[in-house]
């Protein structure tokens, strides 16, 4: 396996941009002619033309701003990602290649579309005939659970994109990395495709390390899955577009309910444990929201500038209000020692939606003001929906490019779309990090302009003497 390193140059000037290791490891030299060469392609005039392959020298800038280019030191190359796509030479012999696909973590629109794209690409383009679906995530590798594998063929996946969820099922929680690699070795798997989020990236990183320690030739390719769109170096994750569309419908219902009664309040809780991208984008899609609360934004409930006082003024002025809150917002109101953990060990956020319902009702009851509060939590409905057409197209490209990378012998990487191009991103560049809404970004400024919400923070008054 090729090793990569970052060369650092001592310089006293401050660096504004993060250093990222963008080198993609490979299992060895790719020497086999790609079977894609044999597929006839025709121009508009009907003339035969050759397939256009991608080389590792085709790159996309990690940072494409003039500010970044101006800060480069003399002789320093800018950070770039490999462009994804078919390679002229591949590492694995398709006739002998065995692939496995596993889906991990929570549900998300588009998982079945990614599975389908991988299977169809392997079968029809590369003529790989041994493709296995691992049931229930990483549990499927562990003998004690007794989960049977699923033979994945074009017939099996023909219509799965019409359904939500994942035909392979999923699971959460850590599993023994050694046992996972034992199973890969025992099954003679050459390429492992993992569809999952941050926890899956962490596990994939450990699996890659164990594979390297044993000197096995197994490629690990991740297709990043997070409905929250919070994986770094991934401009948009699949399922996010569908989530925003469905969240917008929930907001529309909340707005209708708020208008339908005196002092009507529609409160919608959306996905977003650590970031508020779904809440922010759904708000902009409809522009009928008055308050958006996200994990990145600190806010107060009580006090003259808090949410409750502002909400009271809003009802006096307009007689209705719509509030959108991401599930990870307002966690300062909960005792972390009393919150449960999920099977992966992550602290589950306190239920900010129900907490706001109680606090809003208490606040107005104390002032003898009648309100009509409707609370909507569409999270599980959104997670289990089939992907919309935009996400389906996106999932197809992700699955196809994952196959191109795996067959070329690349490993320890995920497929991303970056600055309008599909690229290869090393797992280590993204693992253990989270992308957040920048409160000084055009996205959040547009949210504030749309809602007109105040800062919702009690700022100490300064008096001059």
Which one of the listed residues 228, 230, 241, 391 is annotated catalytic? 228
pLDDT band at 465 (very low <50, low <70, confident <90, very high): low
Scored b (16 or more CB within 10 A) or e, 438-450 reads: eeeeeebeebeeb
Where do the structural domains in the chain lie, given as residue ranges?
A: 32-237+387-430, 240-385
The CATH code that applies to domain 240-385 is 3.40.50.460
**Per-residue model confidence (pLDDT) at position 432:** 87
* Total count of residues recorded for the chain: 465
Structure-block tokens of residue 119? 């299977």
Check if 32-237+387-430 and 240-385 are the same fold: yes
Mean pLDDT of 148-158: 97
Determine the straight-line distance between the first and last CA of the chain, rounded to whole angstroms: 70
Residue 205 DSSP SS3: helix
**Per-residue model confidence (pLDDT) at position 404:** 98
User: How does pLDDT run across 31-86, given as a tens digit for each residue?
Assistant: 999 998 767 666 666 665 666 799 999 999 999 999 999 989 899 999 999 999 99
Residue 65: in which H helix or E strand, if any?
Answer: none
182 in active site:
no
Provide the CATH topology of domain 32-237+387-430: Rossmann fold (3.40.50)
User: How does pLDDT run across 83-106, given as a tens digit for each residue?
Assistant: 999 999 999 999 999 999 999 999
Q: Are 375 and 264 in contact (CB under 8 A)?
A: no
DSSP state of 173: S
User: How does pLDDT run across 292-304, given as a tens digit for each residue?
Assistant: 999 999 999 999 9
Rounded to the nearest 10°, the torsion over CA 102, 105, 107, 113 is -30
Strand residue runs (E) in 104-184: 130-134, 150-151
**Per-residue model confidence (pLDDT) at position 134:** 98
The per-residue DSSP string of 31-74 comes to -EEPGGGGS-EE-TTS-EE------TT-EEES--SHHHHHHPPT
User: How does pLDDT run across 328-383, given as a tens digit for each residue?
Assistant: 999 999 998 888 887 666 778 999 999 999 999 999 999 999 999 999 999 999 99
**Per-residue model confidence (pLDDT) at position 9:** 35
Structure-block tokens of residue 281? 């984008």
Average pLDDT over all residues of the chain: 92
């Amino acid at each position: 396996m090729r090793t990569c390193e970052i060369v650092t140059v001592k310089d006293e000037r401050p660096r504004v941009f993060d250093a990222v290791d963008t080198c993609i490891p490979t299992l060895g030299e790719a020497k086999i002619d790609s079977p894609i060469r044999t597929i006839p392609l025709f121009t508009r005039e009907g003339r035969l033309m050759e397939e256009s392959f991608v080389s590792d020298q085709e790159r996309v800038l990690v940072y494409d701003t003039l500010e970044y280019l101006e800060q480069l030191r003399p002789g320093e190359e800018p950070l770039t990602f490999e462009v994804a796509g078919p390679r002229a030479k591949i590492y694995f012999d398709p006739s002998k290649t065995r692939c496995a696909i596993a889906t991990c973590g929570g549900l998300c629109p588009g998982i079945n579309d990614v599975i389908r794209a991988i299977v169809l690409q392997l079968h029809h383009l590369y003529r790989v005939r041994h493709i296995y679906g691992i049931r229930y995530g990483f549990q499927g590798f562990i003998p004690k659970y007794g989960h049977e594998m699923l033979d994945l063929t074009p017939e099996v996946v023909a219509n799965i994109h019409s359904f939500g969820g994942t035909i392979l099922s999923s699971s959460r929680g850590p599993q023994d990395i050694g046992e996972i690699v034992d199973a890969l070795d025992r099954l003679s798997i050459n390429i492992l495709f993992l569809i999952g989020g941050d926890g899956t990236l962490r596990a994939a990183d450990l699996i890659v390390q164990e594979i390297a320690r044993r000197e096995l030739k197994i490629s690990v390719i991740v297709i990043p899955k997070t409905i929250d769109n919070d994986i770094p170096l991934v401009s948009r994750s699949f399922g996010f577009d569908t989530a925003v569309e469905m969240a917008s419908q929930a907001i529309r219902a909340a707005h209708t309910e708020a208008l339908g009664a005196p002092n009507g309040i529609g409160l919608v809780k959306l996905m977003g444990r650590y970031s508020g991208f779904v809440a922010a984008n759904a708000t902009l899609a409809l522009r009928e929201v008055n308050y958006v609360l996200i994990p990145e934004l600190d806010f107060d409930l009580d006090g003259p500038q808090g949410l409750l006082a502002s909400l009271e003024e809003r009802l006096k002025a307009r007689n209705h209000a719509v509030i959108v809150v991401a599930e990870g917002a307002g966690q300062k109101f909960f005792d972390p020692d009393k919150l449960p953990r999920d099977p992966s060990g992550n602290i589950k956020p306190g239920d900010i939606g129900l907490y706001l319902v109680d606090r809003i009702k208490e606040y107005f009851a104390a002032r003898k003001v009648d309100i009509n509060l409707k609370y909507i939590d569409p999270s599980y409905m959104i997670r289990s929906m089939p992907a919309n057409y935009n996400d389906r197209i996106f999932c197809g490209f992700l699955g196809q490019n994952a196959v191109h990378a795996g067959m070329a012998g690349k490993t320890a990487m995920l497929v991303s779309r970056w600055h309008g191009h599909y690229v290869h991103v090393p797992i280590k560049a993204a693992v253990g990090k989270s992308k957040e809404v920048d409160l000084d970004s055009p996205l959040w400024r547009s949210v504030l302009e749309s809602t007109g919400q105040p800062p919702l923070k009690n700022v100490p008054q300064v008096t001059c003497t």
